[in-house]
Chains A and B, each alone.
Chain A
Amino acid sequence: MPSQIVSLVVNGEHREFIAAPGATLLACLRESLGLTAAKRGCAQGACGSCTVLVDGRPEASCLVAVETVAGGSVRTLEGVATGGDLDEVQSAFVDCFATQCGFCTSGMIMVAEALLDRNPDPSEEDVIEAISGNVCRCTGYRPIVQAVLEAAARRREEAVTR
């Protein structure tokens, strides 16, 4: 089977690109669309650095053959900030020192976004479970958990003041 044209809605925009058979969603995002926030870590689904949202839910994009999600909606870290302004999760990661080398950060933020979309007031345990598929070798996780809880608090506060 030759390469084919695949359509996706990526960060709200309709995108088309040519994909070789069996190309992963991750490879297409990075190599065809130039969206390099999602990282190739283990390519086995064990590290979470490639996590993006597919139809609103976190998935390991290294384990998704792109043909299987053709026509679907994908959200990456590049779609999180609006007009150059960091969102609550991103700014909380900065303020809580939740990123060091940065390799895990985009995956961590995407699972946090999905968690807060479904659960605006997560417990610490909820956060720990949400990031349990994402490996960080720098921070020891504590600042990341605090950043997600802080982001949730900021988002709730904004919802009140809005």
Chain B
Amino acid sequence: MVIEAVHVPESVEAVVTRSAAGGLVMGGGTVVMPLVNSGSAGVTELISLRRAGLDGIEVSDGVATIGAAATLTAVAEHPGLAFLRPALRTIASPTLRNQATVGGNLFVAQPYGDLAVCLLALDAACEIAGPAGRRDAPVADVLAAGLAPGEIVVAVRLTPPPPGAWHYHKAMRRRLNSASIVTVAAVVTKATPEDVAGECRIALGGVAPRPVRAPSAERALRGRPLTEESLTEAGQAARADIDPFDDAYASAWYRARVLPVHLRRAFLS
């Protein structure tokens, strides 16, 4: 299909109105434009979020609100979100990170979408605007069920984890700029005074049709110290939570086989 119009609305309301009339919403274009260039976008109208005023990032009172059109570079450069820098560095190239957006990352196909894996581990909330008004939804729901027609994610809201509680590791075929074989993101707070795992949220990428939580691994870890033994057990337990696939990067078999290793490395690297 040939593109007949590119809309660049300048407010959320204008995006929603436009979106209700049809057209594909795009953030930075890193996913939509390849489809346009190959003639397989399946739409005739595009709606860009580039001027919709959705690129703000605010961190105050321990809560970060990130506009859906904030680029991955902007997130990495924000002093209040420094804990995400190592994770962002594993996503695409610096050039594409100047274009790719936080909101867009929620809607990319696996094995991409490593920031969505992080947001799942962080139990982030999505602020959504649509024809019926505004609503909030857990990022887990948006990843699992998507949005209603005409709705867009306008921001994600998260609580940066306390020092030492954030863990991230991504296995890929190259050191930089490659898709996920296994991605592990986790928030594990220590319960004092025993120094064992307290609150535990582990999210996985690359091992299912979408980013998934690993409740079996979380159960295996809760109340135990983070040791090679407990983490290996948690990694093996996580195999119950995945539904891996074959692609050019790795086989489903390989992903399941190496998951415990990479889950452990997320904590003890």
Contact = CB atoms under 8 A, between A and B. Distances in A.
Given A45-B34, A58-B98, A133 B92 contact: yes
Interface residues of B, number: 29
B8 interface: yes
B33 to A, nearest CB: 4
Given A63-B30, A68-B48, A69-B50, A21 B98 contact: no
A67 B8 contact: yes
A55 to B, nearest CB: 9
A48 B95 contact: yes
Given A64-B33, A65-B29, A59 B3 contact: no
Interface in A43-70: 43-45, 48, 51, 54, 57-60, 62-65, 67-70
A22 B98 contact: no
B92 A21 contact: no
Contact of B96 (A68, A129, A133): A133
Q: Is the interface of A mostly helix, strand, loop or mixed?
A: mixed
B176 A59 contact: no
Given A24-B37, A67-B8, A68-B29, A60 B95 contact: yes
A88 to B, nearest CB: 20
A132 interface: yes
B29 A64 contact: yes
A1 B6 CA distance: 8
Contacts, number: 92
B38 A67 contact: no
Contact of B8 (A51, A68, A129): A68
A133 B28 CA distance: 16
B51 interface: yes
Contact of B50 (A21, A22, A68, A134): A68
A103 to B, nearest CB: 16
Given A65-B46, A128-B176, A133 B33 contact: no
Interface of A: 1, 21-22, 24, 43-45, 48, 51, 54, 57-60, 62-65, 67-70, 111, 128-130, 132-134
Given A60-B99, A129-B89, 17 more contacts: A21-B4, A21-B5, A22-B3, A24-B33, A43-B34, A43-B37, A44-B37, A44-B38, A57-B98, A58-B98, A63-B28, A64-B33, A65-B3, A65-B36, A68-B6, A68-B8, A132-B176
